[in-house]
Amino acid sequence: MKVNEVLKLKATDLNHNGYGVARHNNLVVFVPYLLKNEEANVKIISVKKNYSFGVIDKITKPSKDRVEPVCKHYYECGGCSLLHLNYEAQLKHKLDSAQRTLKKLGNIDLEIKDIYGKDQYHYRNKVQMFYSQDKQIYSGFYQEQTHDVFKLEECYLQTKTASKISVTLDKILNKYQVPIYNEKTKAGLLRAILIRNNQKGEYVVVLISKEDKIGNLDRIVKELVKEHPEIIQVHLNVNSKSTNVILGSKTKELYFKKKFIEEIFDLKFELNYNSFFQINYDVMLMLYKEIVDKVKNLKIKKAIDAYCGVGTISLLLSKYISEVIGIEVVFEAIKNADNNKKINNIKNAKFILGKTEEKLLSINNIDLLVVDPPRKGLEDSLIDTIKQKEIKHIIYVSCNEATLARDLGLLKDEYNVKEIKAFDMFPNTNSLECLAYLERKPKVK
Ligand SMILES: C[S@@+](CC[C@H](N)C(=O)[O-])C[C@H]1O[C@@H](n2cnc3c(N)ncnc32)[C@H](O)[C@@H]1O
């Protein structure tokens, strides 16, 4: 196989990145945008020892599941990866892929029972866009695998209002000729924008700048909120570092109309713009309902909600158990969690600032441990602590089935994995949220 060679290939599978997997003379060829069972003329673009990459030259036999992507930016944007597959087939693909990963990386055979999904489009309640400039200043996303920003004209993940707010701001930034940060030369100021909304349709806007000295900022904010009365707060976040981390640690409030509050069932949650919150509200409700329903039936006295964010799971569970302790490493999130406890008049919850793997060591008599870690999953030391603590019930919420599979595999000698459910928190992307319920195995005498 050589670079630039065009081969007739058939994809026999779709991998976890959404790439078609084909074979030529026993060598695997990954082909982005080729669907399972599709045939195509594929141009080889890179040849490695064990696999190659190709791009579609022409599809000769399309899949019945192929659809025309709704978004004009799909093939340049790194945001979505499955828009060329109909939604039902996306769900099936994610379920199959997660099932295979669980087997391969954790040796877990249990069938994932259900996959819950809701709206395919406009589900994100938080979005981050970057700025660039040619003749005009514009906002958009990075082109796939690069830091080159393309001008965003539509997006089917964020809300329509978020798109309108960024378009308005682009116009205002052009009017005042705000200097845009250039990653290569490090010149300029404004780097990115973060927009977060709640279910009431209220918006928080955060401008991210290299320094805190953008000219005409008062006018810019005034004109923005005049055009968008749904904006209830505007902040300036200063990030002078040249890393991939978007937000810096310093913030200045530029406009404040009211607190940003989100409701979950009968509870209220106040959030800081940089505290974690599930990005798909409807699917989040399905996930939390599942957790609450499970716990209601377990007769729990003391529970730990590890990686608790602003305290959502802790406070939702507090009704059904005697005591719950949330652990979270981000200071603002723990502050929100403590405040949320007060707002909701909850007495049996407590929040601890720190790393789960450190704080859990000194907590005993735990009946239930809920873990909801970031993508990298659980630390090895935490797995050891969990084994030693002999906790009866574990609920593991995961946004990465590979680390979930690894961790379930590591806990397998001590725990039975009783149930796994999947939630399509991130439609049109390859990510999937899973919920696993584990029960301690009885001790062999
Ligand atoms: C996937 S979020 C889950 C938040 C929460 N359970 C929810 O549903 O909103 C993971 C959270 O873990 C926090 N985190 C990351 N590493 C941590 C650690 N080692 N110990 C405690 N919290 C951590 C993050 O700041 C984030 O808030």
- In tens digits, the chain (445 residues) has pLDDT values of 899 999 999 999 999 899 999 999 989 999 999 999 999 999 999 999 999 999 999 999 999 999 999 999 999 998 999 999 999 999 999 999 999 999 999 999 999 988 999 999 999 999 999 999 998 999 999 988 888 899 999 999 999 999 999 999 999 999 999 999 998 899 999 999 999 999 999 999 999 999 999 999 999 999 999 999 999 999 999 999 988 889 999 999 999 999 999 999 999 999 999 899 999 999 999 999 999 999 999 989 999 999 999 999 999 999 999 999 999 999 999 999 999 999 999 999 999 999 999 999 999 999 999 999 999 999 999 999 999 998 999 999 999 999 999 999 999 999 999 999 999 999 999 999 999 999 999 987 6
Given the residues 77, 308, 399, 434, the one annotated as active site: 399
Range list of β-strands (E), 135-285: 137-140, 190-197, 203-209, 231-238, 250-256, 261-264, 267-270
Cα–Cα distance, 393 to 438 (Å, whole number): 6
Domain 91-119+278-440 class, CATH top level: alpha beta
| CB of 330 shorter than 6 A to ligand 1 | yes
Q: What Cα–Cα distance (Å) separates residue 177 from each residue in 171, 174, 204?
A: 10, 5, 23
Q: What's the CA gap between 70 and 155, in Å, rounded?
A: 9
Distance 104 CA to ligand 1 centre (A): 26
Q: Which of 269, 307, 313 to mutate to test the pocket of ligand 1 (most atoms within 8 A of CB)?
A: 307
User: Which ligand 1 atom sits closest to the C-alpha of 276?
Assistant: 27
285 Cβ closer than 6 Å to some ligand 1 atom: no
**What separation in Å is there between the alpha carbon of 99 and the centre of ligand 1?**
25
Distance CA 401, CA 421 (A): 11
Query: For ligand 1, atom 20, which residue shows the shortest CA distance?
Result: 355
pLDDT at 214: 94
Per domain, the residue ranges of the chain are: 6-66, 91-119+278-440, 126-263
Closest ligand 1 atom to residue 399 Cα is 1
Distance CA 190, CA 129 (A): 11
Sort strands 27-32 and 19-24 into parallel, antiparallel or unpaired. Answer: antiparallel
Report pLDDT for 147: 86
Amino acid sitting at position 416: N
The residue contributing the CA closest to ligand 1 atom 18 is 355
Closest CA to 189 of 245, 151, 254, 239: 239
149 CB near ligand 1 (under 6 Å): no
Distance between CA atoms of residues 66 and 133, nearest Å: 35
pLDDT in the model for residue 145: 80
Q: To test ligand 1's pocket by mutation, which of 290, 317, 328 has the most ligand atoms within 8 angstroms of CB? A: 328
Q: What architecture (CATH level 2) is domain 126-263?
A: Beta Barrel (2.40)
Q: Residue 257 gets which letter from DSSP?
A: S
Is residue 262 lining ligand 1, measured as CB closer than 6 Å?
A: no
Q: With a 6 A CB cut-off, is 336 part of the ligand 1 pocket?
A: no
SS (H, E, C) 173-192: HHHCCCCECCCCCCCCCEEE
329 close to ligand 1 (CB < 6 Angstrom): yes
Task: Give exposure, 151-169, as e/b (b: 16+ Cβ within 10 Å).
Answer: ebeebbbbbebbbebbebb
What's the pLDDT at 334?
A: 96
Q: Give the nearest ligand 1 atom to 277 CA.
A: 9
Which CATH architecture group holds 6-66?
Beta Barrel (2.40)
Active site residue 399: yes
Tell me whether the CATH fold assigned to 6-66 matches the one assigned to 126-263: yes
Say yes or no: CB of residue 138 within 6 Å of ligand 1: no
Cβ–ligand 1 distance for 276 under 6 Å, the answer: yes
* DSSP result, 371-384: E---TT---HHHHH
Distance between Cα 276 and ligand 1 center (Å): 7
